[in-house]
Amino acid sequence: MDPMRDLKLQQLSTEVVDLNDWELDDEFPIGPLGAKPKRIFVCPSPAPYRFLIGGHRYLFKEPSGPYAMQIWSEVLAYELSRSTHVPVPPAFLATAPRNGSPGVLIEFFYGYVERPPTRLVHGIERLQALNFPIDYKRGSLKDNIDICRLQRVPAWRHWWAETLAFDALIGNTDRHSENWGFLAETEADGAVVYSMAPAFDNGTSLGYLIREQDLPRYLEPARLKRHIDDGRHHCGWTSVDRFSAQHIELCRRYMQRIIGASLTMARVAAIDDPQIDRLLSWCRSFDYSLPFSSDRVRFVRAQLRLRRDALLHVIDREAGDGALGGIST
């Protein structure tokens, strides 16, 4: 099954995945990279639900305490990708074996039986290999673009346009060089061919750190606008920028430099209010140990609408100025 299959299946409220009957991956039981613990499980075969793949590997993350809402952020990012058509790994609500604690189950986007063998190469690996400067606190979008060019990756312009727009839509603050990468396939002659991996690791988004008791205050229009305006991408435009860029500003700079980026970003921002409302009603339908409260619904709804409108505004402004990008390579 292809990770970017046309039919992305939605988890039903009665289908929270219980991992009690799942086995840890013998070779890699602990997930690589990242600050938080992760476990890798293999789905039973036949799969217990239609949206799972029997015999395939899944990453299970259990953020807790103030980070617990990252579970919903990952799931919501996947569900939003079903409307925006941005490649995002399928993510589902699950419970841990033995103790039943909440977590998110994320489908590995490589290692599919019927596809050629591929491996994930994180952006940081190629940046280091080609002696680019690494700043772990703030990345450089220009360096990321240069790496994609040097690796002769097809469709990188389109990928960065939709991923930057998607990050702006969900307020993702953590697209650092370990949270994007390439799928590498070795051909018969030994040559390595790179393609862009799906936009993975979307948990640090949608105001996940805002506590339940603080949500009503963040719904005040001025406070919500300030929250969104203060949000920043992990990257600045260049490595010499003093600060990482505000989400919409980084989208604007990308549109000014890359031909056709505005059209791609407009497609991502085309999600409408009824789609947002249906998605949040779906969240409320789950009887889950980490509930998605009515206040959280209002907060996320208001965020998505304001972020979408801000993105559409800058797209319209750049298109009106004729700034559909200044370079094509």
For the entire predicted model, the pTM comes to 0.93
Give the model confidence (pLDDT) of 80-108 as tens digits.
Answer: 999 999 999 999 999 999 999 999 999 99
Give the model confidence (pLDDT) of 248-287 as tens digits.
Answer: 999 999 999 999 999 999 999 999 999 999 999 999 999 9
Q: Is residue 164 part of a domain?
A: no
Q: Is residue 207 part of a domain?
A: no
For residue 291, CA distances in Å to 76, 98, 103, 128, 294 come to 13, 20, 12, 41, 9
In the chain, the number of structural domains is: 1
- 3-class secondary structure, 284: helix
Residue 324 has pLDDT above 70, yes or no: no
Could you give the percent of the chain with pLDDT greater than 70? 92
Q: Is residue 82 part of a domain?
A: yes
Q: What are phi and psi of 26, to 5 degrees?
A: -60, -35
Q: Is residue 32 part of a domain?
A: yes
Tokens of 198: 């799906």
User: Can you give the pLDDT at residue 327?
Assistant: 41
Q: Is residue 51 part of a domain?
A: yes
User: Can you give the pLDDT at residue 7?
Assistant: 54
Give the model confidence (pLDDT) of 34-56 as tens digits.
Answer: 555 689 999 999 999 999 999 99
Q: How confident is the model at residue 19 (pLDDT cuts 50, 70, 90)?
A: very high
Q: Is residue 77 part of a domain?
A: yes
Tokens of 150: 């040097």
The pLDDT of 288-301, averaged and rounded, is: 98
Q: How confident is the model at residue 164 (pLDDT cuts 50, 70, 90)?
A: very high
What is the domain range of residue 71?
A: 17-107
Q: Is residue 325 part of a domain?
A: no
Q: How confident is the model at residue 30 (pLDDT cuts 50, 70, 90)?
A: low
Q: Is residue 67 part of a domain?
A: yes
Return the CATH number at 68.
Answer: 3.30.200.120
Residues 6+ apart with CB under 8 A from 69: 63, 206, 208, 209, 290, 296
Burial grade of 88 (CB within 10 A; 0-12, 13-18, 19 or more): buried
Give the orientation angle of helix 247-257 with respect to helix 294-320, to 10 degrees: 30
Residue 329 has pLDDT above 50, yes or no: no
